[in-house]
Structure 1
Amino acid sequence: MVREIDYSVAPRRDILCIDVKSFFASVECVKRHLNPLTTYLVVMSHAERQGGLVLAASPMMKAEFGIKTGSRRYELPDDSRIIIAPPRMNLYLHVNEMILKIARRYVSKDDLYVFSIDEFFMDVTQYHALFGDTMSIAKRLQQDIWQELRLAVTIGIGENPFLGKSHWMWKQNIIGAA
């Protein structure tokens, strides 16, 4: 006998998956008073070597030159617009804490789940009375981070972390968007 499950009565959550675009590269741009969305910058270890490793690339480096995390120094084009920055982990950790401080304005620490230095999840289910619907909270968070830190974030929304991440990946065209 096959038993059908009525999912309409299952509890639903409103989860945001927040990812900072090209985090290390974006932080380096902001520290130089440059727009992280329009600047050609890579964060690279051992830039003096041809095998130096790109740890992060700005969105323009990715879009125009196809340079991404894991690219090598010898793959960089000879272009005077490109800035090569050494990694500064203490700075990135400090900025990460600033981002999380903004997020904690919207949810308690129990509803904030840090996944990595540039990605975290928020359960906003119980905060609608304070901040509006899920989309409104996502937009406000995105605006606050941009206005205060000049960092662009993308946000996926789902009923659980997996669906939130899947939505984010679909929006970024990482998984098939038909």
Structure 2
Amino acid sequence: MSYKVDYSKFPNRSIACIDMMSFYASCIAVLHNLDVRTVPIAVVGNLQQKGSVVLAASPAMKKRFKVKTGTRLYEIPRHPEIRLFEPKMKYFLEMSMAVTDILHKFVPPEAVHVYSVDESFIDLTGTEKLWGPPERTVRIIQREIFDTLKLHSTAGMGPNMLMAKLALDLEAKKTVFAKWTFEDVQTKLWPVSPLSEMWGIGSKIEKTLNNMGIFNIGQLANVPLSLLENKFGVMGNQLYHHAWGVDLSKLGAPFETGQISYGKSQILMRDYNKIEDVHAVLLEMCEDVAKRARDVFQSARTISLGIGYSKNAFGGGFQRARTIEEATNDTMKIYQVCKDLLKENYNRSPVRQISVSITKLEDEHSMQLSLFEKDNWKNRKLAAAMDSIRNRYGQAALLRAISYTPAGTAVKRSKMVGGHKG
């Protein structure tokens, strides 16, 4: 089949995506002089709580005992070879930064995009005169990471960020290193099925595409572009070009173009059976999300609430959103919308997970102060003063009284890093 896309019109760079193998488990293994490849290791949020979840598992733990991220502590079998540890988030972050420091030895900071705590993109285009072929440079980087930090890694390489990520996820995690080119699209990318195996396609989009008779990436690539755009809008254009391996994202684009949402999610340490207790945590979370928006002078028009019910109630939950007429970053306004969504959708089951997010962001200076709300500006100044205190002295320096009740979680979480023990 001939190409429908003229690849000569698109950038063809040397982008690598480097991922640390089972990062948390690997860091723990280094700390305790264990081999992460052979020792069954699980990093568990809290070893004192049977319902606590596994944050990371070593390859041996996954293969031998079927324990993976999200497994509950009580589901882990009792076996003398299994090693269980609690997270050390400060140490994990230090190791992550050490990896980034190694990458900076080979390219300038603008050529590195830290995608997550254990995964980074690096642009090696034009470094041939310094380090030789980019494929060899990636191997050198992987070797230095191991020699310096004792961390194993895998790496995918491609002409853009998408192809590098796909090479990593779909091949390199089995072979340590893989390079994909545009010539590999039809033989390596198109057979991918289910569609959710493709970076950027979630379960909802997959279901919609399946209903359209599309079950692999090759079928997606050969659907008329106009049909996808009519169905998904701008996202349809992206789906089509991604199916052909085309990605125009610039390294670091998520930071350059600005964040499009702010959100917070937490798994509660116990089941919350009273709606008043859920309200307490909800207010804390709205405070955190609103503050992050205020810190960068953003306001939002769409507010989303997600509730996950306890496994004791056979799971389930809901995700709902509401768009308001006037953008806001006022904690109490966001909280009130969340309370309304909760009241309308809550079925009184025990709650175990809560998420809050705000989208459709606008510059807060464009907010119109309603003539009927004379206290708007005063409330914004008060919030700014509170934020200033927290930014200077820490999040726990100024908390609402609700945080000191048995239902509150902010006091305990303020002593954690990344939601876990430091």
TM normalised by structure 1 equals: 0.91
- Alpha-carbon distance in 2 for matches of 1:87, 1:144: 25
Q: For residue 73 of structure 2, what is the amino acid of its counterpart?
A: R
Question: What's the secondary structure of 1:162's corresponding residue?
Answer: helix
- Matched AA of 2:54: V
Is structure 2 residue 72 aligned with structure 1 residue 72?
yes
Determine what percentage of the aligned residue pairs are the same residue.
34
Gap regions ≥5 residues in structure 2? 175-191, 198-422
CA contact (8 A) 1:13 1:125 kept: yes
Bigger CA radius of gyration: 2
Map 1:105-116; keep pairs closer than 5 Å: 105-116=105-116
CA contact (8 A) 1:145 1:152 kept: yes
Q: Contact (CA 8 Å) 2:11, 2:159: kept in 1 or not?
A: no
Contact 2:45 2:55 in 1 (8 A): yes
Following TM superposition, by how much is the alpha carbon of 1:11 offset from its aligned partner in structure 2, in angstroms? 3.1
Q: Which residue of 1 aligns with 2:95?
A: 95
**3-state SS, counterpart of residue 146 of structure 1:** helix
**What's 1:164 paired with?**
164
2:51 counterpart SS class: coil
Name the structure 1 match of 2:81: 81
- Cα 1:5–1:79, aligned 2, differ >3 Å: closer, same or farther? closer
Mapped contact 1:154–1:168 kept (Cα < 8 A): yes
* Alpha-carbon distance, 1:95 to partner: 0.4
Given that 1:47 and 1:53 are in contact with CA atoms closer than 8 Å, whether structure 2 keeps it comes out as no
CA distance in structure 1 between the aligned counterparts of 2:11 and 2:36, rounded to whole angstroms: 39
Q: What amino acid does structure 1 have at the position aligned with 2:30?
A: V
> What CA deviation, in whole Å up to 9, does each residue of 1:22-66 have, x standing for no partner?
101100000011112112111101222221210001111111111
1:40 aligns to what?
40
Please state how far the C-alpha of 1:6 moved relative to its aligned partner: 4.0
Report deviation, 1:113: 0.3
TM-score (norm 2): 0.40
SS of equivalent residue, structure 1 residue 42: strand
User: Which one has a larger percent helix, Structure 1 or Structure 2?
Assistant: 2
How far the C-alpha of 1:130 sits from its partner, in A, is 0.7
Q: What residue number does 2:131 align with?
A: 131
Residue 17 (structure 1) aligns with: 17
Tell me which residue corresponds to 2:143. Answer: 143
Conserved in 1, the CA contact under 8 Å of 2:51 and 2:72?
Answer: yes
Letter aligned with residue 92 of structure 1: F
What is the CA-CA distance between 1:9 and the residue it aligns to? 5.2
Tell me the number of residue pairs that the alignment of Structure 1 and Structure 2 aligns.
173
Q: CA deviation at 1:169?
A: 1.0
What are the Cα deviations for residues 102-155 of structure 1, in whole angstroms up to 9, with x where unaligned? 111111101000011001100000211111112101111111111111111110
